[in-house]
Amino acid sequence: MKFCDKVVIVTGGAQGIGMAISRSFAQEGARVVIADIDEEAGKENEAYIREMGGECFYKHTDVASEDDVKALVWAAVETYGGIDILVNNAGIGAPGTLFTRPMELWHRVIAVNLTGTYLCSRYCAEEMIKRGGGAIINIASTRAFMSEAHTEPYSASKGGIVALTHSLA
């Protein structure tokens, strides 16, 4: 129980890697906040963690929305008294190619993957400082360093996360 009484926010915590991360923290005693736009999957993961004896809640959050991020942080602080760990895991890709992908998709990927990481870091760090410190874990990708055709928005956002992480550190 190495995370007993720690409060952890996991963005994109409803499915895939985020689901596994949120469950692992809960198994180690953390109080977990699952932040995701997929309400059905978020509530399913919340129920699973609670059935396993963990403490958590799901909060519908679009990490690209500053208002949603503020509401997420407020809910975590109001429910658990603070934040100790943030896992910036939320991320999306975009179909198409350089020539066919609408600019709206480029903007959405950058907003979710990179701006969302920045917003969550900004507002969670303020709360972590009040508790004497904390940890921010940013999930990037090999796409930040290795080429793959037709992944320009995703790759650029993940490269941005690597640079942002370095700058925050």
Q: Which of these is catalytic: 58, 118, 123, 154?
A: 154
Q: Long-range contacts: 44-47, Cβ < 8 Å, 24+?
A: 44/14, 45/13, 45/14, 45/15, 45/19
154 noted as active-site residue = yes
DSSP element (H, E) containing 141? none
Residue pointed to by tokens 């059935």: 51
Which of 5, 1, 45, 51 lies closest to 23 in space, CA to CA? Answer: 45
Residues with catalytic function: 154
